[in-house]
Structure 1
Amino acid sequence: MKEIFSTEQQERIVQAITVAESMTSGEIRLVVDRKLSADSALDAAVAYFRKLNMHKTALKNGVLIYLATEDHAFAIIGDEGINVRVAADFWDDTKEQMVSFFRTGDVVEGLITGIHHAGEQLKHYFPRRADDVNELPDEIHFGNN
């Protein structure tokens, strides 16, 4: 699965997560499958959100970006701490920015753009605190397919 991205691309993506999280107490995870692991990208994102224990963060401020590369499908979801504070279309701008890169075939830049934008959005609602700890790993989670 890791062959979807080169080592350098993976490092760029993980660095983007680290930088985005340096601005916020929020947690950002990226899950990559080749094919959808559920009926829809949203269903897959919800399943991974629970599988990766993202619902267990202290402030309920985790964000998961799910991508199925061969099915050209993705979703962004946030935990209840985020969802109670933002409008229903909160992630639409992030998705549009990502899609603009995906359409040109630049998946990595699309992911990095989405990660940075998510971090920018999170810092407004969940600014980084002095006692903040990284509750979840920053690495890419590659699914089984």
Structure 2
Amino acid sequence: MSAINLFTAEQQQRIIAVIREAELATSGEIRVHIEKKCTEENPVKRAIEVFGNLGMHQTAEQNGVLFYLATEDRKFAIIGDKGINERVPAGFWDSTRELLRMHFAAGDYAEGLCRGIDEAGRQLKQFFPRAHDDSNELSDEISFK
């Protein structure tokens, strides 16, 4: 199964809607990237590459978050930009990662992403609340390779 076929059109739209909803509470920018195979042994290393390829480091507050998933290799990572990493405590992504792991282990990728994105938005709100003049700096669309 190719990465783009992992989700139905309805599931893709639901994930995008959850990204938009999460971003209503935070100035953080959330993206999802899905590919079939992870080209690195460590999915965090690959997520860092994808983060750069998607231009996610260009947000004003350096507060982009990437949910990376390699479907065939069953690997995933959640990474935040420099601005996030400088402000959040160690282990900040642990609960979100476990939420994803639980749903992914059951084969429920769409629900896992939706729950994880929602959780990330709530957590980011503490450190990056949405300002009245906040704009959407990054696409909410899922990227596929």
TM interval, short-chain normalised: over 0.9
Q: 1: CA distance between counterparts of 2:39 and 2:126?
A: 32
Residue in 2 that maps onto 1:125: 127
1:21 is matched with which residue: 20, 23, 41? Answer: 23
Residue in 1 that maps onto 2:38: 36
The answer to whether the Cα contact below 8 Å between 2:20 and 2:140 also exists between their aligned partners in 1 is: yes
Q: 1: CA distance between counterparts of 2:121 and 2:37?
A: 26
Unaligned runs of 5+ in 1: none
- Aligned identity (percent) is 52
Deviations 1:91-136 (A, max 9, x none): 0110001111111111110011110011011111111111100000
2:144 is matched with which residue: 139, 142, 145? Answer: 142
Aligned Cα root-mean-square deviation (Å):
0.9
Taking structure 2 as the reference length, the TM-score comes to 0.95
Residue in 2 that maps onto 1:56: 58
Q: 2: CA distance between counterparts of 1:62 and 1:87?
A: 16
The answer to whether the Cα contact below 8 Å between 2:29 and 2:136 also exists between their aligned partners in 1 is: yes
Unaligned runs of 5+ in 2: none
Determine helix, strand or coil for the equivalent of 1:76: strand
What code does the residue aligned with 2:128 have? F
What code does the residue aligned with 2:99 have? Q
Residue in 1 that maps onto 2:76: 74
Deviation at 1:27, TM superposition (A): 0.1
- Aligned: 1:101 with 2:83: no
The count of corresponding residues between Structure 1 and Structure 2 is 143
Residue in 1 that maps onto 2:92: 90
What code does the residue aligned with 1:32 have? I
Determine helix, strand or coil for the equivalent of 2:79: strand
Deviation at 1:88, TM superposition (A): 2.4
Determine helix, strand or coil for the equivalent of 1:130: coil
